[in-house]
A and B are shown apart, each in its own frame.
Chain A
């Protein structure tokens, strides 16, 4: 159970004013609206607020010191947490992509006359300081990406020359030569010029045995002449590991079999894997096998070069 005195850093003999002062100091430090995106601050703030509710007024402090039941305290805490959505710390949660206040009233960053209006005198106009304004340079990098990550999507870190690490989300299906743009991470502008962008050109590493053909993936799989004639089940490689696949009887070298949804990309737009069969005759032919085939020659001889 929470010890509100410990959380607020006060003693049982502290006055209400002292408790309020301590609460205000802690609340300012951990308030989630003043620490957007900081989950630890949010968690600490909830504990601080709950503790203040328990001992922040003379009446509540007296009740707590007399020892309320666990059930009543839990009920109070449950009601408190329900109200959290509308009371403390809710504002920053509304300020995501497209939020009115951030995008309408925060947009004057660096160029606002807000302070001019507030204090009755203007900030120095930046135009007076510079005769020219240039946008910052764009920075270009190349990044090698594993075949599987390029095919199915992934994440990779890249360290920029300025020492910053950028976590790059690799979109599924991206191919060599494509570029990813990261706005505002390039060179600083001159005057009121905007910051440049970072461009990362993707280079996909080849993966032996796999060949990309648009959104499809081609894999060549050897089979025996017996399998070609009788059909059967064979293991074929995919990006997610080996799977068993049935081959019909009567296939030849070059026959193509499709495995749906095992190609390049993600979700419904993911392509297929095309297994291209290759009939392979044994390197060292067993004399018994040779004899058996010669015996079948008179019955089953055929000319594949005839239409």
Chain B
């Protein structure tokens, strides 16, 4: 998993640092390392998703929180479903 500095994250995602700071203040992203504000692949992909939801789909601030929360639950369910077919030998 790639870890990048805050400034590099801004470049990779094509956004200003104020934008990412706002996302953090809104609790939409939680940097992999909250002390140094370094971010991993999950954070970068999530920043890009938020930008897309805002810019392309017109999602507002309140809607963003709900959507991200629902997506997290959905992804959790899918990852658990993947495990069902494995079974666990007793």
A interface residues, Cβ below 8 angstroms from B:
23-24, 27-28, 33-34, 36-37, 86-88, 90-97, 99-107, 109, 112, 114, 118, 166-169, 171, 174, 178-185, 199-200
Contacts of B45 in A (CB 8 A): 86, 90-91, 93-94
CB pair A171 B79 closer than 8 Å = no
CB pair A96 B79 closer than 8 Å = yes
Contacts of A112 in B (CB 8 A): 69
> Which DSSP category, helix, strand, loop or mixed, fits chain B's interface?
helix
> Which DSSP category, helix, strand, loop or mixed, fits chain A's interface?
mixed
CB pair B88 A87 closer than 8 Å = no
CB pair B87 A169 closer than 8 Å = yes
CB pair A200 B87 closer than 8 Å = yes
Query: Which of A106, A118, A199 has a CB less than 8 Å from the CB of B72?
Result: A106
A107 to B73, CA, bound (A): 7
A sample of 15 inter-chain contacts (CB < 8 A) reads: A23-B56, A27-B56, A88-B48, A88-B52, A90-B45, A91-B42, A95-B75, A97-B82, A103-B76, A104-B30, A106-B75, A179-B89, A182-B87, A184-B84, A185-B84
B interface residues, Cβ below 8 angstroms from A:
12-13, 30, 32, 41-42, 44-46, 48-49, 52, 56-58, 62, 65-66, 68-69, 71-80, 82-90
Given A24-B58, A87-B52, A91-B49, A102 and B90 touching (CB < 8 A)?
Answer: no
Given A27-B57, A88-B52, A171-B89, A102 and B41 touching (CB < 8 A)?
Answer: no
A-B contacts besides A95-B78, A109-B76, 11 pairs, CB < 8 Å? A28-B57, A86-B45, A96-B79, A97-B82, A99-B42, A101-B72, A109-B77, A178-B89, A182-B84, A184-B80, A184-B84
